[in-house]
Chains A and B, each alone.
Chain A
Amino acid sequence: MSFGLECKKVKRTGFNPTFLCGGFIAAIVPILNMAVRSENYLGLDASPVQILMNANWQMMSLLNILVVVAGACLMYHIEYTDNALQRMCTLPIGESRLFFGKAALLAVMSVVLLLIEAAGIAFCLYHWFELSLDVWPELMKNFGYALLLIFPAATGSLMIASACKNMWVSLGIGVICVFAATMMPTKNFALSLFPFALPFQMFAGATENTVRNYIVAAVIEILIIGFAEVLLLKVRRAFE
Chain B
Amino acid sequence: MNFLSLVNIEFKKIRRSKILFILAVSTIILWLPSLINADLNFGMQAEGISPENNFLIQGFMGMAWFMFPASMVVSTVLLNMTERSNKGILKMLSLPINTVKLCLAKFIVLLTLSAFQILMTIGMYFISAGIASQTQNYNFILKPLFVFNKAGLIFAAGIPMLAFFWLLSVCIQTPIISIAIGLASIVPSVLMINTKIWFVYPMSYPFFVITAEYGKLASNLTTAQVELIPFLPVAIGITIACLFISCLCFGQAERR
Q: Chain A: residues with CB nearer than 8 A to chain B?
A: 13-15, 17-18, 21-22, 25, 59, 62-63, 66-67, 69-71, 73-74, 77, 81, 166-169, 171-173, 175-176, 178-180, 182-184
Stretch at the interface among B18-26, B130-138, B201-209: B18-26
Smallest CB gap from B70: residue in A: A175
Stretch at the interface among B74-82, B101-109, B228-236: B74-82
CB distance from B136 to the nearest CB of A (A): 20
Residues A173 and B22 in contact in the complex (CB < 8 Å), given A71-B176, A179-B29, A183-B62? yes
CB distance from B55 to the nearest CB of A (A): 15
CB distance from B30 to the nearest CB of A (A): 8
Whether B184 and A67, one on each chain, are in contact in the complex, defined by CB atoms closer than 8 angstroms, is yes
Whether B85 and A70, one on each chain, are in contact in the complex, defined by CB atoms closer than 8 angstroms, is no
The residues of B that contact A179 with a CB separation of less than 8 Å are: 26, 29-30, 66-67, 70
CB distance from A41 to the nearest CB of B (A): 15
Chain B: interface residue total (CB-CB under 8 A) = 33
Q: Map CB proximity to A onto B52-88 as digits: 1 under 8 Å, 0 otherwise.
A: 0000000000100011001101110110010001000
| Distance between Cα atoms of A81 and B82 in the complex (Å) | 11
The residues of B that contact A173 with a CB separation of less than 8 Å are: 22
Whether B180 and A67, one on each chain, are in contact in the complex, defined by CB atoms closer than 8 angstroms, is yes
CB distance from A57 to the nearest CB of B (A): 13
Interface assignment of B17: CB less than 8 Å from any CB of chain A? yes
Interface assignment of B175: CB less than 8 Å from any CB of chain A? yes
Smallest CB gap from A75: residue in B: B176
Whether A74 and B176, one on each chain, are in contact in the complex, defined by CB atoms closer than 8 angstroms, is yes
The residues of A that contact B184 with a CB separation of less than 8 Å are: 22, 25, 63, 66-67
Whether B187 and A63, one on each chain, are in contact in the complex, defined by CB atoms closer than 8 angstroms, is yes
Q: Chain A CB within 10 Å — which of B32, B67, B74, B78 has the most?
A: B74
The residues of A that contact B67 with a CB separation of less than 8 Å are: 179
CB distance from B13 to the nearest CB of A (A): 13
Smallest CB gap from B80: residue in A: A168
Within 8 Å by CB of B74, from A14, A62, A168, A182, lies A168
Interface assignment of B33: CB less than 8 Å from any CB of chain A? yes
Whether A66 and B17, one on each chain, are in contact in the complex, defined by CB atoms closer than 8 angstroms, is no
| Distance between Cα atoms of A69 and B182 in the complex (Å) | 13
Interface assignment of B240: CB less than 8 Å from any CB of chain A? no
The residues of B that contact A184 with a CB separation of less than 8 Å are: 33
Interface assignment of B241: CB less than 8 Å from any CB of chain A? no
Interface assignment of B171: CB less than 8 Å from any CB of chain A? no
The residues of A that contact B94 with a CB separation of less than 8 Å are: none
Residues A15 and B176 in contact in the complex (CB < 8 Å), given A173-B22, A179-B26? yes
Within 8 Å by CB of A74, from B17, B29, B62, B175, lies B175
Residues A66 and B29 in contact in the complex (CB < 8 Å), given A14-B177, A168-B74, A175-B70? no
Within 8 Å by CB of A167, from B29, B30, B81, B190, lies B81
Interface assignment of B183: CB less than 8 Å from any CB of chain A? yes
CB distance from B118 to the nearest CB of A (A): 16
Whether B71 and A168, one on each chain, are in contact in the complex, defined by CB atoms closer than 8 angstroms, is no
Interface assignment of B5: CB less than 8 Å from any CB of chain A? no
| Distance between Cα atoms of A180 and B73 in the complex (Å) | 17
CB distance from B253 to the nearest CB of A (A): 14
CB distance from A195 to the nearest CB of B (A): 15
CB distance from B170 to the nearest CB of A (A): 16
Whether A167 and B183, one on each chain, are in contact in the complex, defined by CB atoms closer than 8 angstroms, is no
Whether B187 and A59, one on each chain, are in contact in the complex, defined by CB atoms closer than 8 angstroms, is yes
Within 8 Å by CB of B176, from A13, A178, A180, lies A13
Interface assignment of B210: CB less than 8 Å from any CB of chain A? no
Within 8 Å by CB of B29, from A25, A63, A71, A176, lies A176
The residues of B that contact A166 with a CB separation of less than 8 Å are: 17-18, 78, 81
Whether B66 and A168, one on each chain, are in contact in the complex, defined by CB atoms closer than 8 angstroms, is no
Chain B contacts with A in 96-119, Cβ cutoff 8 A: none
